[in-house]
Every structure is written in C-alpha cells, then in structure tokens.
Amino acid sequence: MNRLYSGILILILILATGQISAQLSKMGVPLKIKQLKSSRGGKVEMPSFLSYFSSEVQTVQDEKQLKPFKFAHGYPVNLTTGNSGEWFSAADSEDMAVWRLTIKSAGAYSLNLVFDDFEIPENARLFVYSETEEYLLGAFTQDNNSASRKFAISPVAGDEITVQYEVPEKLSHVDPFRIIQVNHDYVGILKSGTRRPMGKTAGSCNIDINCDAWGSWEEPKNSVVRIIINKPGGSEICTGVLVNNTAENQKPYVLSAAHCFDKWSYAETSVFTFNYESPFCKPLDGDPSNSISGAAMKAQFDSLDFALVLLNTVPPPEYRPYYAGWNRISEVSESSVSIHHPQGDIKKLANDNDASVIATFDSPYVKNGHLRILKWEGGTTEQGSSGGPLFDQNKLLKGTLTGGSAVCGKSVDDYFARLALAWDYKNDSTKQLKYWLDPLKTNPATLQGKQFYTEADLCGAFTNLTDIDSYALVPIKNGTEFAGYWGGSNSVGITEITEKFKTEANLHLKGISLGVGRIKNAIKSQNSEITIKIYNGTSVPGQPIYSQSVKTSELAPDAMNYIPFTKVVKPGTEFFAGFEISNVAAPDSFAIYQSLKASTQTNSCFIRKNNQWNAFSSLNAEKKTMSNIIELVACNINNFNTDTPRVENPLDIVVFPNPVTSTFTVEAGKEITAQQIKVYNVAGQLCTCKITPIGDRKLNVDMRGNVSGIYFVHYNNGNSFITKKISFVQW
C-alpha cells in the first residue's frame, strides 16, 4: 500500500467501529502513520499464478485415495523488516515506529502467510489486513511467540494484504520475523464475496452436523477441528480431533492423519479451527474465526497413519472445546459415526449403522491396521476429511480417516487407522499414543470425554432453529410490488429486526452470529452500517441494554458472520437480540436469512415498523410465523434461574433445565395432564418416563433409565402437537 496518512486513516476509522475477525490475538486497531522514514518499496508481487497447479494436485490425491484437500499454492519468499517494506513514524506515539509491507498475488481469493524466526518483543504488535476487503487479523504480540519460532496466520480475504508491525523506536533495528511463504488460495476457502468460486463445496449427500435426526453429537462435535496445514507447495486441509488423556489435565492434544503431516515441522505452522459449522440442519456456511496457530508434533507413525500434536495454546471457553474420549479395545464397534470437514467445508457427519471390519488399506500401511467402513448409511467423506475421527456407538474415538473410495453417490469403502494399534504398536514414544494419552500409566481400555470448562466459563451456541426450518431471503410485497426484505432493507418502515430468546440459565452473551443473505454496496462508501442490539423484555423488546455498530462492508453474504461483543452482556432469561438497519445508506441494501413457517408454529421474530414493535405473525394476513437465522454464543449456560419460566402462549410449553441429567419440568400455558405429554427418542420410539404433576400447569418428567441422547417432548394441546427438543446426559 503506497498511500500514506490519508489511506491508513480511512482504514482505521473503518476498523475502529466495526467487526474485527481474528485468531487468538489481542484485538485492537493498527496505529496511524505520519511520515516516511525510509523506503525500499512498500509492495511486493508474487509471480503469475497458473491454474494447472490445482488440477495437478487433485490428480495425485485421487490416485492415492487419500483425502487431504489442497486449496492454495505456496510461493517461497524471504521478506523481513530489514530487506523490504517501508518504515514510518507513528502519528500518535512519538516513541513507536511502524513498518508496513503490502503483498499482492493477482487473482487469489485469499492469502495466508507463514513466518519463521518469529519473536515479537514486548510492547510490539503485528497486524495483517486487507484494505479492499476490510478484513483484519491481530494484534499478534509476544504472547504468540512459540518455542519453534514459527507462526502462521489464517487466510485473509482478497489478493492483496498488508502486514503492519509496530514496535518501540529503540527496537526498530531488530528483525522480529521472516515471512517465508505466501499461499495463494485458488479455491475460495473463505466466506467472502462469492462462496467457493470453483465449486469445491461438500457434496449434497453430506449431513450437516447439527441435524437432530442423527442423534446427539453436541459434545463430540466440539472436539473436531479443521486444520490448515502449510507445506512448501502450498496449503491443504485435513480434519483432527481434540482428545482427552488419563491425567485429565486439559492438555490440548489433537489427533489426525500422518499423511497430512508428512514432516513433523508442518505442525508448527498449521492453523486449527473450531466450530466451523452451520448453526442448524441446513448447509449455510459457517464462520471460521475460532482459530489457533501452531502446535508441536509429539508422535507420528506413517505406517499406521496417525499424528498426535499438542496445540501451542489451550482453546479458550468461547471456542467450546470438548476433549473426546477414546476406546482402544480391538473389537470393532456396533455402529460408527465420523465427523469431518469434506472439501474443507463446514462440519459434516457420516453414519454407518453396521459393524466396521478390520482390514488392510494398502501398502505401505501395517496389515490389518485399519477399520473399514463397508457402506455409509448417511453421508460420506471427501478430500479434506483425512484425519477425521471415527466414533463408536458410545461416542468414543476408535480411529482416524486415512482414505478410501467413498463419495456422494457411492459411499462405500473408507479406511480409518485403528487407535487400538496406534496405542502401543511401537515401543518408541514418538510412534505411539500410549505415552502421551496415558501419562498416569493406568493403561485403561477406554476413557470418557471431558468438558473442562464449568460455571461461568461453560459456553455454548444457541438458536431457535430446528431440523424443519429452512433459510431464505423473505421478500415484502406492497400490493404486487417488491418492497424489500422482512430481514433487512425495505421501503415499508421497518427499522429493526430481532429474535426472541427464552432460556433457563442466566446467560453471559459473548457475541452474535448473523446468517447474512444479502449485501449490496451500490456505492463504494463507508457509510452503511447495522447496529447490533440486545433488549430486555418479555412480550416485545423493552429497554436496550447493549448496542454495537458494524459496517455492512465487513460482513460476507451467504454465510454466518460472528460478531464478538466488546463486553459481556447479561440479559437475564428472557431477551431479544437483533439489529437496526436505519444506517444502511441508500442505495445500499442488507438483509439476513429467515425461516418462514406455518401459523401453527412458534413465532420468534419481532419487527419494529413505523416505530412500533410487533410479532412478525401479526404483520401478515396469513398469520405465518418466522425465526431469524441468528445464533448467540454465551457462557454461564448451566447457571439456572430459580424463578420458573412463564409461558405466555396457552398452546405452548417450555421444558427445563436443558440439558437434563435426571428429571426435567414441563410448564404449559394452560392446565396440563400427564396424558398430554409423550417423550420419544431420535428413532421415533416412545420412551418409558415417569411423569408426575407438580401443579396445574407443570409436570415433572423423570428420564432415569433411558440412555443419554437427544429426545423429543411431544405436547398435545388439543389443537395441534408441539415438539420440544431436550438433551439427556447421564453423569
């Protein structure tokens, strides 16, 4: 970037008021500059990229039937603060120097960088951003230093990015890092602009991880991570799983495939992403911002195709990490589920109702070193699924994916490296799992998974969406004329859109994800913004308790967009979350996805029109209901309110607590009897539960004696059937 003060000032004003997308970092905004100190050329350009790189890589992958997914070509470079870029003085800090370097690789959908000799000194900061895409990572500080002195960043949208390093003037002569590789994304791995321009999305037969019909995977799914592995030839994607150990000391070990980590050093510059998924049972692109950079390889054995790494950083509470349990018994499981990232896409599930088979994958792998899935009943695996975990019927880890021929339309023959052999097939601690996963030397056959965060640090994600919900931009008709969208820009006086939430716990809100459907910036201005708002209230939004402005140009269409709050918000057990669109500057437009539903279903969408709040169901002649595609990330999720929730709709019920460990309460909007309540499992079977009246409008349901999992509470209110989902967890 060659513009000086004015250019960087515009960028800072944008970033200071809007969303910042980041890996683990200190947040903040880059310093402004005031004058040039030296010049070596502030911009470097990569050689012309040729499309044959992509086809060449895919051919090699197909021949081996291995399933990593390459998405970027790597250019080797050697860029330092001493041999490239430009130095400036900071405008607002006399003792700070600022170095900037712009890197361009024409045609890239995103760029990511690999650093070596990375050692940020005290009080220094590093940012990486795209001015055209208004996308920022950082600040990275001395807290990001590691023993390997290597560091990698997540992809940044666009084909031109700027690296900005800020350091006390007295240390500006010391090179704090070398940029050794620029990775040119030729697939479109990020949710920016057109999603996946080359069409490399997961096949349509894949099952979204949050589909209730496939059972309760709420905890195990949170152990699965997408891994960007930076190699000399470029970047590729595999899947991994966070695993527990017998000391239960929260050490963040991630297990994946050895063929993803051909060299031990690749772990040091890999990026591990949690929670990249759709919030409900539809293939809406997720948000990849929950990332950690770097790990240390602890054990790897290519003949059994496993690699165990230790993350440089313990995942924080907001990442909702779950440490998967494991089963090293040699016997095959009765049924299997794999959770993975096909094509590097959002998290998916593959299901096999039959027993797996002990088998040999191919040379040079150990004989009978794999579990063979003969046929997936639901879903499949694809490139990008390599290293993905295979869970047994008890949700314990049995192996990790090596490869196979399974694809949509022919989901047969996948091979998973056996954890039973990886345990201690080799005596060398660097080629076995036992040394690392059994530090207490108790040699258990199985170990249960673990959620280490508790109380105020126990976090989760919440929506009002179910499997039957869909998503679309819902148009408004003024007579026969199009008048905008119920979820955004319009000409009928709608200024705010909110979603009603009712919980049993006193949630601590950390952020909000919007399912953005449309962004049209007709003019290249920085004036369009939405304002995130949280309201208290019961029947309609009451007093606003939090607001935060976000530039529409910083959000991506056709994807979930996570917006972290600048402070923890404590709204109580009933509240509204949404946004105001008054500051979307004409002729720009903005709208989120919504789920339009029948009049018999519960409405959770509330709209401010002509300065008055109304339920969406009261604003349309057919009395249809609506839910917004909005997800909240909140902590303190088990701190239940002692006051019983009240049900306003006489035809509705609430169930609480959720999840439940023994008994839960059903409260109705009118008098209720035990005969009106039935509890079914995910297979549609009626469950044996003891149901006891505890008041005219309340029942107690005892789940003890049933297996852990997702259940559905059916309520016959005399006019229709209402269904509520509840998770039963036996401790």
DSSP 559-584: EEEEEEEEEEE---SEEEEEEE-TT-
Contact 177, 149 (CB under 8 A): no
What mean pLDDT is predicted for residues 344-371?
A: 94
Q: Which of 81, 100, 103 is nearest to 90 (CA)?
A: 100
Query: Residue 572 corresponds to which tokens in the numbers above?
Result: 């109580």
Decide the pairing of beta strands 389-391 and 156-157.
unpaired
Mean pLDDT across the stretch 205-214? 90
pLDDT digits (tens, 9 = 90+) for 646-669: 677 888 898 888 777 778 889 888
Work out the pLDDT band at 249, boundaries 50, 70, 90: very high
Q: What is the pLDDT of residue 192?
A: 54
Written in H, E and C, the secondary structure of 330-381 is CCCCCCEEEEECHHHCCCEEEEECCCCEEECCCCCCCCCCEEEEEECCECCC
Of 83-87, 209-213, 331-335, 580-584, the one with minimum mean pLDDT is 209-213
Residue 184 bridge partners (DSSP): 73, 111
The dihedral over CA atoms of 303, 327, 275, 501, expressed in degrees to the nearest 10, equals 170
pLDDT band at residue 59 under the 50/70/90 scheme: very low
User: What was the pLDDT predicted at 577?
Assistant: 98
What average pLDDT score do residues 457-461 get?
Answer: 94
Residue 719 CB neighbour total at 10 angstroms:
9
> What local confidence, expressed as pLDDT, does residue 664 receive?
87
Set out the domains of the chain in order of their start, with CATH numbers: 5-185 (no CATH), 207-447 (2.40.10.10), 459-635 (2.60.120), 653-728 (2.60.40.1220)
Question: From CA 531, how far away is CA 344, in angstroms rounded?
Answer: 32
Q: What span, in angstroms and rounded, lies between the C-alpha atoms of 619 and 490?
A: 14
Q: Which residues contact 199 (CB under 8 A, 6 or more apart)?
A: none
Q: How far is CA 606 from CA 433, 462, 600, in A?
A: 52, 18, 17
Name the residue type at position 693. P
pLDDT at 632 over 50: yes
pLDDT of residue 720 exceeding 50? yes
How is residue 659 annotated by DSSP?
Answer: S
**Least confidently predicted of 300-314, 434-448, 682-696:** 682-696
Q: What single-letter amino acid sits at 395?
A: K
Distance CA 389, CA 209 (A): 14
Q: Let me know how long the chain is.
A: 731
Q: Do residues 310 and 323 touch, judged by C-beta distance below 8 A?
A: no
In this structure, what token pair is assigned to residue 282? 């539809």
Query: Would the pLDDT of 523 be above 80?
Result: no
Ramachandran angles phi, psi of 52, nearest 5°: -65, -20
Rounded (10°) CA dihedral 398, 400, 401, 402: -120
- Average pLDDT over every residue of 499-517: 94
Largest CA distance in the chain: 81
For residue 269, what are the contacts with CB-CB under 8 A and spacing of at least 6? 114, 115, 150, 151, 152, 230, 293, 294
- Show the tokens assigned to 580: 């105001």
Rounded Cα distance between 58 and 156, Å, is: 23
The amino acid occupying position 402 is T
Helix (H) or strand (E) holding 6: helix 5-17
Q: Which residues contact 484 (CB under 8 A, 6 or more apart)?
A: 475, 476, 490, 491, 492, 494, 589, 591
**H-helix or E-strand spanning residue 401:** strand 397-404
Q: State residue 148's pLDDT score.
A: 94
| Mean pLDDT, range 247-270, rounded to an integer | 96
Confidence of residue 46 (pLDDT cuts 50, 70, 90): very high
Burial label, 566 (beta-carbon count in 10 A; 0-12, 13-18, 19+): exposed
Share of the chain above pLDDT 70, in %: 90
Whole-number pLDDT of residue 30: 87
d(CA 113, CA 152): 6
pLDDT band at 555 (very low <50, low <70, confident <90, very high): confident
What share of the chain in percent tops pLDDT 90?
Answer: 68
Q: Rounded CA gap, 380 and 5, in Å?
A: 52
β-partners of residue 578 are: 498, 533
Average pLDDT of span 197-221: 83
Q: Is the pLDDT of residue 36 over 80?
A: no
The sheet carrying 663-668 orders its strands as 653-656, 663-668, 698-702, 690-695
Closest CA to 348 of 321, 318, 385: 385
- Digit-coded pLDDT (tens) for 168-205: 998 888 899 999 999 999 988 876 555 555 556 788 99
138-169 pLDDT, tens digit per residue, is: 889 999 999 999 999 999 988 999 999 999 99
DSSP of 41-61: -SEEEPPPP-THHHHHHHHHH
* Residue 283 DSSP label: -
Q: What is the DSSP letter of 248?
A: -
Closest C-alpha to 379, from 358, 353, 418, 356: 353
Q: Are 120 and 178 in contact (CB under 8 A)?
A: no
Query: Which pLDDT score is estimated for 669?
Result: 87
Mean confidence (pLDDT) of the chain = 88
- Residue 321 tokens read as 């990490």
Percent of residues in the chain assigned helix, strand, coil, to nearest 5 = 10, 45, 45
Q: Which residues pair with 535 in a beta bridge?
A: 544, 576
pLDDT, position 676: 93
Q: What is the Cα–Cα distance from 69 to 185, expressed in whole angstroms?
A: 12
Q: Would you say 544 and 534 are in contact if contact means Cβ atoms under 8 Å apart?
A: yes
Exposure string for 255-284, b = 16+ CB within 10 A, e = fewer:
bbbbbbbeeeebbbbbbbbbbbbbbbbbbb
CB atoms within 10 A of CB 243: 25
**567's tokens:** 């402070």
**Range of weakest confidence among 33-37, 207-211, 494-498, 617-621:** 33-37
- The answer, yes or no, to whether residue 320 has pLDDT greater than 60, is yes
